[in-house]
């Protein structure tokens, strides 16, 4: 059974998994916000797509970045992390973008994989509804944890969650840290500050 997390809550993924945890998928989904108010309904928003980008920042125990996985680099250099590709609209049901992590292939020096979401076109999170991040056990397809991204705002980036190695366990922490940035590289500095 999946755990619904709130900001700054942590869950042990190994304890939630039904067996040995070897591979997970970090999924992100969102919908375009519906126009609100009479004037917004009459005029409309003029844009029925939102280009959010899920990315992963890989860090060692000292919070040094060792790799970034995003729509322009769909695989980590060692091949242990893969991105599903860029969804330019947010249309459809389920995850809009996913990042798959083969935990057995992650280098020993990797301590954290941080999941970020940013708006490449600069649209703010005020334009987004029903956003979430989640973790799925790839061995059986079971959702282990879900983090609803509640609350809109004028920010263009979100440091969503961290996957961290902890004495043979993997923990997933819902961060929900609002920030700004159009690409993952603009979020790196804030990620390293949060982890230190």
Q: For 115-171, write each residue's pLDDT tens digit.
A: 999 988 888 888 888 888 999 999 999 999 999 886 678 999 999 999 999 887 899
Q: SS3 breakdown of the chain: % helix, strand, coil, rounded to 5?
A: 15, 45, 40
In Å, how far from its chain's centre is CA 24? 13
| Pick from 137, 130, 140: nearest CA to 163 | 137
Sequence-ordered list of residues with C-beta below 8 angstroms from that of 79, at least 6 positions apart, any chain: 102, 105
- Percentage with pLDDT > 70 across the chain: 87
Residue 178 Cα distances to 92, 97, 135, angstroms: 25, 19, 20
If you classify domain 3-195 with CATH, what class do you get? Answer: mainly beta
- Which tens digit of pLDDT belongs to each residue from 37-56? 554 544 444 456 777 889 99
Rama region for 122: left / alpha / beta (φ>0; ψ in -120 to 50; rest): left
């Amino acid at each position: 059974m999946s755990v619904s997390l709130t900001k700054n809550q942590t869950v042990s993924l190994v304890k939630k998994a039904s067996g040995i945890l070897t591979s997970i998928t970090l999924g992100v989904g969102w919908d375009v916000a519906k126009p609100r108010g009479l004037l917004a309904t009459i005029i409309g928003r003029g844009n029925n797509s939102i280009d959010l980008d899920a990315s992963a920042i890989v860090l060692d125990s000292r919070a040094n970045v060792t790799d970034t996985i995003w729509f322009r680099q769909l695989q980590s250099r060692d091949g242990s992390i893969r991105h599903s590709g860029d969804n330019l609209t947010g249309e459809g049901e389920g995850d809009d973008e996913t990042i798959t992590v083969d935990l057995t292939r992650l280098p020993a020096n990797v301590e954290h994989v941080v999941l970020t979401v940013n708006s490449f076109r600069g649209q703010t999170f005020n334009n987004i509804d029903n956003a979430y991040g989640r973790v799925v056990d790839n061995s059986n397809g079971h959702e282990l944890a879900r983090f609803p991204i509640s609350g809109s705002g004028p920010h263009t980036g979100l440091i969503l969650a961290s996957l961290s190695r902890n004495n043979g366990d993997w923990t997933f922490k819902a961060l929900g840290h609002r920030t700004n940035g159009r690409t993952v590289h603009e979020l790196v500095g804030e990620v390293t500050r949060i982890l230190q």
